[in-house]
Amino acid sequence: MIPCRQMAGTSFIAEATLSKSQDSVKPDQPLTLSLSFRIDGAIREAFSQKNWERAYNKHDNGFRMTIEVEIKSGRKTILPLRFVRKAALFWTRNPKIQYRIWVSIVKDDTPFYPLTMEEAHSTLFDVNKVIELSGNDLDSGSHRLHAEVKVSWGKHDYTEPTEIKGSSNEIELMRVAA
């Protein structure tokens, strides 16, 4: 893992880890990779109930974060991925939530309604992605795979437009002939 430094008032990608389901793969054989990382720092702190209330009162009731991942072997991109996480601020009447304004989070096209701030942060900012590759995606021989991650979001009442980048650890993989 390549360490990311935190400066005051910045956001960063932390704990980016890439893992594999097996050490070697044949053509036409599936390969499962797991990528996990956290988006940490200023954005995680700014995405709070107090700021949601202020933003909601100014009609700023949505947050959209774009996540781009490139699985690479050396400099060659094997698989580009792009996905979005969204949060919507809304007026709640849920008796389990003590606040007037709360958040729903859309992750992998499924809405989540967290009951705590910690759950909201985890759902929005912690990424665990399963990536399916085929042996045909790789040339024969040894490969050192890693993931390059780019995360961006726009201007809101509680944050400026930001783009952060990070890289995962390298994993070694062998593609064997049929």
Q: Give strand ranges (E) for the chain.
A: 11-20, 24-25, 30-41, 62-73, 76-91, 101-107, 110-112, 126-134, 141-153, 162-167, 171-175
pTM: 0.88
Cα 161 to Cα 19, 41, 157, distances in angstroms: 31, 15, 11
17-45 tens-digit pLDDT: 999 988 888 888 898 999 999 999 999 99
User: So where are the chain's domains?
Assistant: 12-175
How many C-beta atoms lie closer than 10 Å to residue 3's C-beta?
Answer: 8
110-166 tens-digit pLDDT: 999 999 999 999 999 999 999 998 888 888 889 999 999 999 999 999 999 999 999
Asked if residue 1 has pLDDT above 50, the reply is: no
CATH of 12-175, one of 1.20.120, 2.60.40, 1.10.260, 2.40.50: 2.60.40
* CB 71 within 8 Å of CB 78: yes
* CB 166 within 8 Å of CB 149: yes
